Structure formats: structure tokens, C-alpha cells
Chains A and B, each alone.
Chain A
Amino acid sequence: MSLAEEPVTLKEPVSGRSLWQDALARLARNRAAMASLLILAVMALASILGPALWPHPYDRVYSEYVRVPASLEAYPHEDRIVPEMQRSLARARVDIGAVTVAGDTVRAEISDEEPIDPRMIRYVERSDLFSRVRLAETSADGRSAVLEAEVARLFFIAGTDGNGRDLFARILMAIRISLAIGLLATAVALVIGVTWGATAGYLGGRVDNVMMRIVDILYSLPFIFFVILLVVFFGRNLVLMFIAVGAVEWLDMARIVRGQTLSLKRREFVEAAEALGVSDAGIVRRHIIPNVTGPVAVYMTLLVPKVILLESFLSFLGLGVQEPLTSLGVLISEGAKNMQGASWLLIYPSIALALLLFALNFLGDGLRDALDPKDR
């Protein structure tokens, strides 16, 4: 073999890679996980910036456009412009002459027995179809005039809901709320679960028995009951939703952390810390918790979609966020009620939810594979 003959040369010292660098490298090679990360980034960005940039506010009611189907073409349709102008003018109680449409401008000849009050244009302005309404060519006696208005071209790429609100803007807002609930409730579950599990596992013995027995009992309580009671008791409040859901979901976290802690506390560095006289709380904080980060991170990524699903489920039952705020569950439950005749109300929010959950699940699976030493 040539190995023995080659002179041993000292290369640059190889810098070690930490567990996390290894894991990230593995994650970067996982195409499904990276695609999910991209989708998630796009959805998160769209939900944060989108409502501010999108032309329709999520709670703006377009009363002329109730339940219009999703379309890439601009509203209004051409055949609606003239009747709508006549309807608005009829409300203003003026006599209507010819109404003509030229490009984006509508001209209507109007006359009245009294001189025309220029304030009557409010009747036309009020409609969602017209903008920049003005009176042109008022006759000398003020009894006839030509009213000019621009046709407001509006796009509803996902249609509008039963109140005439733009569905796409509402979906953006719903993604924001769902993601926020997912992240915050997970954070609540994380704090309670890690503290509880680490304490139980580290102290062991009778304390451990009692603490884990409590977890077992809470586990066998029907969780929905808990959440419903919390929601009923404290009113439907967004912050409370986070806490309620987080307070239910910490049980698994506590179990995972306890299991890890039990194996960690026999290790030398913990014994060393004990020998040095570090307090129990200090050991848990400085040595136990940092070392359970891996499994906890994996569980967290899988908990976020679970919480989003749970929140949607509560919203579906009518226990979730309140109007005009919205979440994906609220939109889907609305859609389910309107699915005959307005199927876009069900389809688009469902796609958004499915996409979000898909991406989160794939990312969680990818992270688990990346951190799982069995796979190396």
C-alpha cells in the first residue's frame, strides 16, 4: 500500500463541525424541505407585507360586489356599467337621458325641474363601480348637465365573500393570524413543556412521579373540553387562544424533555457541575435545557402545523377569532356553508391551509431526518 510510504504532512487543522452545522448541511440537501422553506418564506412574507400592499383592505366591504366569482378579469363587467349608473342616478331623483360608455369614462345626461344640486354626485360616488365623478357641461339654467365618471376597475382574483370583501386579502390576513397563533402557541407550549419536563426529569423520584402523573391525567382529559372551557370562560380573545392551545399542547413536550433529561443527568458534565456546587436550578438552566434543543426543535416544527390545525378546527366550530379578523379555519367554515353556488369561498382558503400545512410538515420531517443520528 502506498499509504505507508507517503510522508505525513500536517495540514491545516480541520475545524470541527457542530451538530447544528451538520444538520443544516443535511437539510440543505433535502429538496422537499428546501422547497417547503421557500414556500413558507413566500407565504410568511405575503402575509406580513401583503395586507398593506394589496389594493383591497381585508375588511373593506364592496356592497356592489357581493359573492362575485374569482376572475382574472377586472370588474365590473361591461354590461353592468350602464344599469348601475342608471340605478345610482335614479336614487338621486333626476331625469336620466342617454348614458354612454367610452373606454373607461361614462357620460350620463341628466336633467331636473329644479337646478341640479352639485352635491348629487355623492349618489354616484357611493357606488363601488365609479370614481372621480364630476358634473360637466352644466347648462345655463342649471337644470340639465352631463355627469362624467371613471369606471373603477377592480380585480378580485379570488372572488369576494358573502359580505363583498375581497377573498384574497382575507386569505392573506388569515395566513398571518394562523401563523401567528401557530408560533405563539408553540412558544407557550415550549416554555411550559420544557420547564416542566426538565424539572421532573432532573429532580426525579417522588417529584417526578407526581409531575408526570399530572401530565398523564391531563393527557386523558378530552383536550377540546379544556379549550372550549377556556374560551367560554374568558371570552373569545386572540391572546387567550394562544394560551389555551399552548396550554393543551405542552404535554408531549414535557414527556420528550423529561426522557432526554433522565439520560442527561447521569452524564459526567452534570455530575461535575453538581460537584462544583451549582444549584439545581442552575444545572437545569445551563446544562440540561441547552442539551435537549435538538429533539425539541424537531417537535416544535411539527407542533406549529398541529396548532394551526387546532386553531382552524376551533374557528370551524365558531370558537375562534372574531369578525372582521379572520383565520383560515373561519374562512373554510364560511366556505363550507356557501359551497353550493360559491365554491371559490371553500376552495382557495382550503388550498392556502393545505399548502401551509404541507410545507410545515415537510420542513419538520426534513429537520428530523437532518438531526436524527440514525440516518448518518
Chain B
Amino acid sequence: MLAYALKRLLSAVPTLFLIVTISFFLMRVAPGGPFHLERPLEAKVMENLNRLYHLDEPLWRQYFLYLSNLLRGDLGPSFVYRDFTVADLFAAGLPVSIQLGASALALALLIGTFLGCIAALRQNSAADYLVVGIATFGITVPPFVVAPVLSLIFGVSLGWLPAGGWGDGALANKILPVLTLALPQIAIVARLIRGAMIEALRSDHVRTARAYGLPTRIVVAVHALRAAILPVVSYLGPAAAALLTGSIVVETIFGIPGIGRYFVQAALNRDYTLVMGTVVVVSLFVVLFNLVVDLLYAWLDPRVRFNA
């Protein structure tokens, strides 16, 4: 298994390299630059800034410079947030995003699995329709509607929770963002579990377990769920990567200092190194979680074998 994991990680290197290359040149093709402000800088200042950040050198040299720095783990200084390196910004923001994302993920798995199981066990009953209704609602109503509405209800009208802000990670400040992040995931997990569970409950091994006289909750929780969780696992790979690297919408609306908001800001500001850093971090998460999914999959489903 270790050999398989290593091989998978190695095969991701060319993909990552291509992603970095494409992003680097795409970013540079776009007009404007990090120091093109509304009030133009003096020519001399501009020249010095460009020299400081190696922007005056030919593009291919900048590219190789960036690559060699990247290989040494140096993401470079941020162009717009002066005095900060990209690594500093991530060190401050990533834990916040990961905390929120992981909580939302855990919540979504718990509630989604529970709802999905209930719906599957009582297929075509009122409870089933309720779950399917909630799931459709969660998928169709986008987070940028849910977030302001939640903050309007709980933050402004009822005043139970802060309407926004991070408050140094106080629990009350996390509830609404986590809920907003979790809602669509709950919906998707519930739908996936419901579909897979209905199939799993009809399968031979579950029938055998029932025939042995095992109580329903054991049959569902141990035997059926193991098969039903498979589609969720493969869905959660990319979803986890997206959740843990922060959500632009949630971080903007609730004013949370994660890394999700850097992406759009940095692209608009032409903060080259920060954009590249975000791309690298997000891609790393995607590659890593795809690997985790494959390993988990093989562990859950003995029919899957690594063909290393």
C-alpha cells in the first residue's frame, strides 16, 4: 500500500508542474500589474519596485526563478500585502479555513448520513419526501443566499449570534459560517447515502445478515452502511479539498480571515505570488485528498485492489 501511495504521489508531480506553469503564464498574459495603481507611481519608483521583485527580467527567467524558489518551499513575498510573505499569509489564514472546513465536513457527514439512512429505511414515506425536499433545497439555494439570510435572522433580528467577524475563533462566531458551509454538503451526502443505501439494503450480504437475525440497527450501521458510504467517499475527496481551502463567499460575508478570500482579491490586484501560492496550495489539497479517497476506498471495499 505504501508503494502504491508513493507512486500516486510521484505521478502527481507532473500534473502539479503543469498547473503551476499554466497558471503562471495565464496570470502574466492578463494586462496590468501589481503596481499599476489608480494613481500611477513615479517612473523611478516603479523601476525600483520592478527590479526588487524581478519583474524587469524576461518572463522565462522569472518563471525559472519562481520554480526554483517553489522547489525550495519558498512561495515568495506578497506584492500587495507588503511586509508579508505568502507563507506568512497562509500560516495565518489556513488554520482558520481548515477549522471551519473540517467542522462543516464532520457536521455534513454526521447529519447527511443520518438523514440519508432514515430516508432509505422509510422509502416513499413522508420522512423520505421530507429528506429529499431538504436535500433539494440545500443543493439549489446557493451559499451566498443562505449566508446573508442566516446572518439576518440569527445575527440581526434575533441577536443570538454575532452577524459576522471572527472574534479570535470564539465558538459563537463559528456557528453560522459552519452551518452555511455544511448545508449543501449535508444535502449532497444525504442524497448519495439514500441512493446507495436503498441499493445496499437489497444486496445479498445484507439479506444474509438479516437472516441471521441481527437487529436492524446493526445491519444498517455495520453491514449496509459500509457499502453505502462508498459514493460519499469518492465525492468527499474533491469536496474536502474545496472546503478546507476556504470558501470565498462565506469568508467574505462573515468577514473571516481565512485564505478563501485571497484568491479573488489577489487575482484582481495582480498579486502574482499570492495567486500562484493559492493555486499551489489548492492543487496540493486536491491531489492529496484524491489519494486519501483511493486508499479509503480500498480499505472499505475489499473488491478494490491497488494495481500499482
Contact = CB atoms under 8 A, between A and B. Distances in A.
Interface of A: 216-217, 220-222, 224-226, 228-229, 232-233, 305, 309, 312-313, 316-317, 319, 329, 332-333, 335-336, 339-340, 343, 346, 350, 353-354, 357-358, 361-362
A329 B268 CA distance: 19
A336 B140 CA distance: 18
B287 interface: yes
A339 B144 contact: no
Contacts of A354: 140-141, 145
A339 B263 CA distance: 26
Name B's interface SS: helix
Contacts of A333: 144
B267 A222 contact: no
Contact of B31 (A220, A233, A317, A350): A233
Contacts of A362: 136
Q: Give the one of A221, A226, A343 with max B CB within 10 A.
A: A221
Given A220-B15, A343-B152, 12 more contacts: A217-B18, A221-B19, A221-B22, A222-B279, A225-B26, A232-B267, A316-B144, A329-B144, A336-B148, A339-B152, A354-B145, A361-B136
Contacts of A357: 140-142
Given A316-B144, A339-B156, A362-B136, A225 B286 contact: no
A316 B30 contact: no
Contacts of A217: 15, 18-19, 22
A329 B149 CA distance: 15
B291 interface: no
A232 B264 CA distance: 11
Interface string B236-279: 00000000000011001100000000011001100000010011
B27 interface: yes
Contacts of A226: 26
A224 B23 CA distance: 12
A233 B267 contact: no
B19 A346 contact: no
Contact of B267 (A228, A305, A335, A343): A228
Nearest to A333: B144
A216 B15 contact: yes
A155 B128 CA distance: 42
Contacts of B278: 222
A353 B142 contact: yes
Contact of A224 (B32, B151, B264): B264
Which 4 pairs, one residue from A and one from B, show the smallest C-beta to C-beta distance? A336-B148, A357-B140, A233-B30, A350-B145
Interface residues of B, number: 39
Interface in B131-156: 136, 139-142, 144-145, 147-149, 151-152, 156
B148 A346 contact: yes
22 contacts: A217-B19, A220-B15, A221-B23, A222-B263, A224-B264, A226-B26, A228-B264, A228-B267, A229-B27, A232-B32, A232-B268, A313-B249, A316-B144, A336-B148, A336-B253, A339-B151, A339-B152, A353-B145, A354-B141, A358-B140, A361-B140, A362-B136
A358 B275 CA distance: 35
A255 to B, nearest CB: 14
B156 A317 contact: no
A233 B25 CA distance: 13
A220 B19 contact: yes
Contacts of B78: none
Contacts of B136: 358, 361-362
Q: Which secondary structure characterizes the binding site on chain A?
A: helix
Contacts of A361: 136, 139-140
Contacts of A224: 248, 263-264
B185 interface: no
B286 to A, nearest CB: 5
Contacts of B139: 361
A327 to B, nearest CB: 13
Contacts of B286: 220
A309 B141 CA distance: 9
A167 B255 CA distance: 28
A317 B27 contact: no
A243 B30 CA distance: 17
A181 to B, nearest CB: 15
A219 B257 CA distance: 27
B141 A225 contact: no
A304 to B, nearest CB: 12
Nearest to A216: B15
Contacts of B293: none
Contact of A222 (B142, B145, B147, B282): B282
B158 interface: no
B29 interface: yes
A321 to B, nearest CB: 16
B180 interface: no
A225 B279 contact: yes
Contact of A228 (B249, B268, B282): B268
Nearest to A355: B140
Residue among A224, A316, A357, A362 with max Cβ neighbours from chain B (10 Å): A316
Interface in B14-63: 15, 18-19, 22-23, 26-27, 29-32
B124 to A, nearest CB: 14
B103 interface: no
B97 interface: no
Contact of B144 (A228, A232, A313, A340): A313
B113 interface: no
Contacts of A343: 152
Contact of A346 (B22, B31, B152): B152
Contacts of A335: 148
Contacts of B23: 221, 225
Given A313-B144, A335-B148, A225 B18 contact: no
B233 to A, nearest CB: 19
B142 A313 contact: yes
Contact of B140 (A222, A233, A305, A313): A305
B140 A229 contact: no
Given A309-B142, A361-B140, A225 B275 contact: yes
Contacts of B253: 336
A346 B145 CA distance: 8
